[in-house]
């Protein structure tokens, strides 16, 4: 044994946290292995929330299965139902009207706005900054009202259906005006917040060089989404999706890979989303919003990847007699768990939860693994 | 006659202090935090008065602790300690001699801090190790590691607080000693009544800043709330207090807020707390002003980890040393 | 009104336990308490994360198998008097997860909540609206006020 190994760590104790913990919000268990108060190893237990959505989807009619995917996650519900519809549309060769595409994009970007606001609010709560957290919840209400206005429900709005969007989500002039006003309000409030946030010396000293994920590690651990972009990799699936082709936006990257970069990537992605929504409202084509002329048939396994607020979302299923078979869903947080565990290591235990939260975990999305218990 | 008069002074001061201290958490919450956060906020009586009364009427349960009796008596002990601290500040008690001196105050504050350590090591809350969860599953990492409760982490931090975290407040106490040349409260008050408050000297002004930071550290207010951050240890040492023992915890905190402000008024303004003295109103103003400034600071700052905590304490302590040096110049 | 009921009505500590819902209800409840728009604190409702401090337990989610034990333990840790508010369709009847195909029971769900701990107020909705949460808390209050 070489005693002078640089990476040698001594684990003195284990601090388990969860499944009920204020910094976590969601039920998950994290075991932190500490030396003094420095985290030397971490283990996040996935599976606490396992409800077996894929199993329930198995054998359901495809329309029902689509709306069930929305119940996987209450934050990015639109992403799930959109991607699930995309799988069905790809398999059944359904052409989606252009206006429906635009409305879907508007919903998706509104969702990204509220998801990022929630992420920043949660991040600030874990930082201990209650004022900013409340401010962000306040800003987020604007988007929630818009989503409630369009979809009829504040959380699960079920905009997409096979072949278009639900008639409820049609955008008339009144709604478009409200959207425009809402976006102006959001931009004004968020710009003021972002200026204040970036120039706060105490917050910046607290989050700089904490929870660092290097670019090599991020690629090795297969991170996706903003977590990957915060390490300097310019990869956003939106640039490759044909739905996003008409829109002009920038892919935001930061170089640090620490909590600061992670937070700033989200802060700067919010204006891009507002930009996309504005373009979509401006260029909103006329026409129908649903295509009902399609026929059910048996299809082989079809898959679809889209970029959602947290990263790359994968849905796939085959169709038999109009029913869903072999359904597999892979959510972005699943890919980021490795990074969360990695980011905790070497930092103070107060920063450990922050290092987990920085990757924007959504364990209700993630939990489809089953833990094997030693008997 | 004289003794009755003193007795009324001491008891009256205690009672007024107690009533004002009940209102302080509500004032901080309603007028500072809620105003900054642009919301309505709770009624002023709710956090400080109604919550302790409510806890008083709750079912007394045995806390999960190796020594439930001792654990439950600790908040009462710290309440008494703080009360003694207030009593020795009252001018009628200056006949106690060495007990009415800065040294005694340092000792009593240390006792208060040690309470956190006892509380932390005696509390075994449900929220970490005892949570019924199959951790030791097949493939779990490091299954042989000893497991610690969140409160034990808090104990570790309480120890650091005693070791050096509360340094600023003690240095600030000795600024007034350095200026007046005496450790006796009677001399300190008398000196300031002759020569004016030492707050308005260079040493005193520096000392006041140092005292204020120390006040926040001792009260565990954000950003110095290392003992009870929501990010890891939740409420730390207080996790297992329920029913009336929790109401003692609530009362202790409000009372400590008041007493530390009174201490400041005595040492830096030369106004000893006595209800029969008209200048008691200044003590009350200081007692209201301190939580307000603290509320503003805590609303605008995140929680500090050691990386920020150590330099802050070191810098403030150096400032305190400078204040003492300035006192001798 | 006695001092006991008066004080109980003027300071209500709420603890939240998430038991594996979809996050929708969870965030609406946090929203209801943290957001300045709803601000439950103006109704004398305070958020806590410590069962020893809590009066009202707000439970969301269908209670997955792993969450059953923690939920039960946390309920027992709350000193009397206490009330439980189950919020959201999942907490009330298991939601879409409980009965996956007709009568086949789900293997993953141990809930709904009232099979594990006694529930005093039920707030329906998928997801619950913040206004409904406050209404549900208020409807559970008489139980606290009139308790011994």
Domain count, chain C: 1
Interface touch A373/B307, C-beta < 8 Å: no
User: Who has greater pLDDT, B261 or B229?
Assistant: B261
Residue with tokens 């005595």: B266
pLDDT confidence of residue B162:
85
d(CA B93, CA B6): 9
Cα-based distances in Å from C51 to A55, A349, B234, B289: 35, 23, 11, 33
d(CA B113, CA A231): 43
Q: What is the ipTM of this complex?
A: 0.91
Cα-based distances in Å from B180 to A95, B62, B100, B109, C7: 88, 49, 15, 22, 47
Regions of chain A short of the pLDDT cut 50: 1-5, 375
DSSP state of A71: G
A260 to chain B, closest Cα gap in Å: 14
d(CA A78, CA B118): 51
Residue with tokens 């806590």: C48
Interface touch A206/B302, C-beta < 8 Å: yes
**Residue in chain C nearest A153 by alpha carbon:** C127
pLDDT confidence of residue A87:
92
DSSP state of B273: -
Q: Which of B43, B48, B50, B135 to mutate to test the interface with C (most CBs of C within 10 A)?
A: B50
Q: Is residue A20 part of a domain?
A: no
Q: Which chains touch C (3 or more CB pairs under 8 A)?
A: A, B
Interface touch A52/C107, C-beta < 8 Å: yes
pLDDT confidence of residue B9:
84
Find the domain containing C134 and state its range: 3-146
Q: Is residue A264 part of a domain?
A: yes
CATH of the domain at C56: 3.40.50.12280
* DSSP labels, A281-322: HHT---S-SB--------EEEEEEEEEETTEEEEEEEEEETT
**C134: its two tokens:** 């406050």
- Picking from A259-268, B68-77, B256-265, C90-99, which range would have the lowest pLDDT averaged per residue? C90-99
* DSSP labels, A86-113: HHHHHHHTPPPPHHHHHHHHHHHHHHHH
d(CA B74, CA B90): 25
**Residue in chain B nearest A45 by alpha carbon:** B135
Which of A 174-203 lie inside 8 A of B, CB atoms? 202-203
Give the one of C41, C50, C53 whose C-beta lies nearest to B41's C-beta. Answer: C41
pLDDT confidence of residue A192:
93
Interface of chain C against chain A, CB under 8 Å?
Answer: 17-28, 30-31, 34-37, 49, 61-62, 64, 66-67, 70, 74, 95-97, 100-101, 106-109, 126-127, 129
Q: b or e along A217-249 (b: 16 or more beta carbons within 10 Å of the residue's beta carbon)?
A: bbeebebbbbbbbbbebebbbbeeeebbeebeb
pLDDT confidence of residue C101:
66
pLDDT confidence of residue A7:
57
Q: Is residue A66 part of a domain?
A: yes
User: Who has greater pLDDT, B325 or B163?
Assistant: B325
pLDDT confidence of residue A1:
40
pLDDT confidence of residue A350:
87
A175 to chain C, closest Cα gap in Å: 21
Domain count, chain A: 1
Angle value at C-alpha A236, between A233 and A240, nearest 5 degrees: 130
pLDDT confidence of residue A8:
62
Percent of chain B scoring above 70 in pLDDT: 100
Q: How many residues does chain C have?
A: 148
Give the one of A27, A56, A153 whose C-beta lies nearest to C19's C-beta. Answer: A27
Interface touch C10/B45, C-beta < 8 Å: yes
**Residue in chain A nearest C109 by alpha carbon:** A51
The model's pLDDT over C31-69, given as tens digits with 9 standing for 90+, comes to: 888 888 888 888 888 988 889 989 999 999 888 888 899
Residues in B closer than 8 angstroms to C41, CB to CB, are: 29, 34, 39-42
pLDDT confidence of residue A369:
53
């Amino acid at each position: 044994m070489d005693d002078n190994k640089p990476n040698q760590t001594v684990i003195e104790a284990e601090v388990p946290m969860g499944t009920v913990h204020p910094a976590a919000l969601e039920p998950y268990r994290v075991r932190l292995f500490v030396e003094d108060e420095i985290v030397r190893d971490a283990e996040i237990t996935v599976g606490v929330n396992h409800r077996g959505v894929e199993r329930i989807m198995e054998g359901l009619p495809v329309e029902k299965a689509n709306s069930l995917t929305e119940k996987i996650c209450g934050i990015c519900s639109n992403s799930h139902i959109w991607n699930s519809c995309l799988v069905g549309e790809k398999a059944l060769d359904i052409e989606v009207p252009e206006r429906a595409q635009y409305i879907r994009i508007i919903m998706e970007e509104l969702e990204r706005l509220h998801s990022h606001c929630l992420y920043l609010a949660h991040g600030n709560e874990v930082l201990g900054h209650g004022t900013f957290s409340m401010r962000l919840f306040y800003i987020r209400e604007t988007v929630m009202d818009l989503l409630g206005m369009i979809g009829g429900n504040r959380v699960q709005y079920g905009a997409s259906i096979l072949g278009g969007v639900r008639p409820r989500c049609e955008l008339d002039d009144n709604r478009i005006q409200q959207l425009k006003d809402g976006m102006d309000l959001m931009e004004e409030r968020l710009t003021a917040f972002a200026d204040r946030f970036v120039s706060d010396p105490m917050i910046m000293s607290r989050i700089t060089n904490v929870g660092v994920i290097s670019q090599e590690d991020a690629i090795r651990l297969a991170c996706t989404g903003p977590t990957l972009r915060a390490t300097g990799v310019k990869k956003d699936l939106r640039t490759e999706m044909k739905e996003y082709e008409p829109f002009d936006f920038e892919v935001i990257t930061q170089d640090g890979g620490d909590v600061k970069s992670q937070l700033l990537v989200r802060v700067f992605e919010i204006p891009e989303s507002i930009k996309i929504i504005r373009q979509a409202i401006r260029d909103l084509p006329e026409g129908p919003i649903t295509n009902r002329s399609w026929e059910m048939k048996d299809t082989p396994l079809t898959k679809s990847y889209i970029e959602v607020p947290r990263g790359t979302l994968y849905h796939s299923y085959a169709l038999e007699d109009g029913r869903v078979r072999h359904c597999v869903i892979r959510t972005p947080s699943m890919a980021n768990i490795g990074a969360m565990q990695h980011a905790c290591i070497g930092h103070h235990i107060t920063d450990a939860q922050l290092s987990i939260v920085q990757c924007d975990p959504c364990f209700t999305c993630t939990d489809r693994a089953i833990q094997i218990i030693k008997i | 006659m004289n003794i009755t008069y003193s007795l009324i002074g001491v008891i009256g001061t205690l009672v007024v202090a107690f009533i004002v201290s009940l209102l302080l958490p509500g004032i901080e919450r309603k007028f500072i935090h809620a105003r900054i956060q642009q919301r309505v906020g709770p009624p002023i009586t709710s956090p400080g008065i109604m919550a302790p009364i409510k806890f008083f009427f709750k079912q007394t349960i045995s806390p999960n602790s190796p020594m439930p009796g001792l654990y439950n008596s600790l908040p009462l002990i710290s309440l008494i300690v703080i009360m003694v601290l207030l009593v020795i500040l009252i001018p009628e008690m200056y006949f106690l001699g060495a007990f009415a001196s800065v040294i005694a105050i340092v000792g009593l504050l240390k006792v208060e801090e040690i309470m956190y350590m006892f509380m932390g090591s005696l509390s075994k809350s449900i929220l970490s190790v005892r949570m019924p969860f199959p951790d030791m599953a097949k493939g779990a990492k490091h299954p042989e590691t000893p497991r610690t409760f969140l409160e034990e982490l808090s104990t570790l931090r309480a120890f650091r607080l005693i070791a050096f975290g509360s340094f600023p407040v003690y240095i600030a106490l000795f600024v007034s000693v350095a200026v007046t040349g005496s450790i006796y409260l009677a001399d300190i008050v008398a000196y300031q009544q002759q020569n004016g408050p030492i707050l308005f000297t260079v040493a005193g002004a520096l000392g006041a800043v140092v005292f204020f930071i120390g006040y926040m550290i001792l009260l565990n207010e954000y950003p110095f709330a290392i003992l009870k951050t929501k990010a890891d240890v939740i409420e730390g040492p207080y996790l297992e207090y329920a029913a009336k023992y929790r109401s003692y915890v609530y009362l202790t905190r409000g009372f400590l807020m008041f007493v530390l402000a009174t201490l400041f008024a005595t040492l830096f303004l030369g106004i000893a707390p006595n209800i029969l003295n008209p200048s008691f109103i200044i003590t009350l103003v200081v007692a209201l002003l301190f939580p307000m400034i603290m509320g503003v600071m805590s609303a605008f700052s995140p929680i500090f980890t050691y990386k920020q905590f150590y330099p802050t304490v070191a810098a403030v302590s150096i400032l305190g040393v400078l204040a003492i040096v300035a006192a001798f110049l | 009104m006695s001092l006991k009921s008066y004080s109980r009505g003027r300071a209500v500590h709420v603890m939240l336990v998430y038991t594996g819902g979809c996050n929708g209800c969870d965030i609406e409840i946090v929203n209801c308490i943290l957001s300045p728009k709803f601000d439950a604190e103006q109704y004398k409702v305070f958020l806590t994360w410590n069962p020893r401090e809590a009066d009202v337990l707000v439970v969301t989610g269908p209670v997955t198998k792993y969450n059953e034990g923690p939920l039960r333990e946390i309920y027992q840790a709350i000193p009397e008097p206490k009330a439980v508010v189950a919020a959201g369709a999942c907490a009330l009847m298991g939601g879409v997860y409980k009965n996956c195909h007709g009568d086949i029971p789900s293997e993953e769900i141990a809930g709904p909540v009232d099979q594990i701990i006694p529930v005093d107020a039920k707030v329906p909705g998928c997801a619950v609206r913040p206004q409904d949460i406050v209404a549900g808390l208020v409807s559970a209050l008489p139980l606290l006020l009139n308790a011994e």
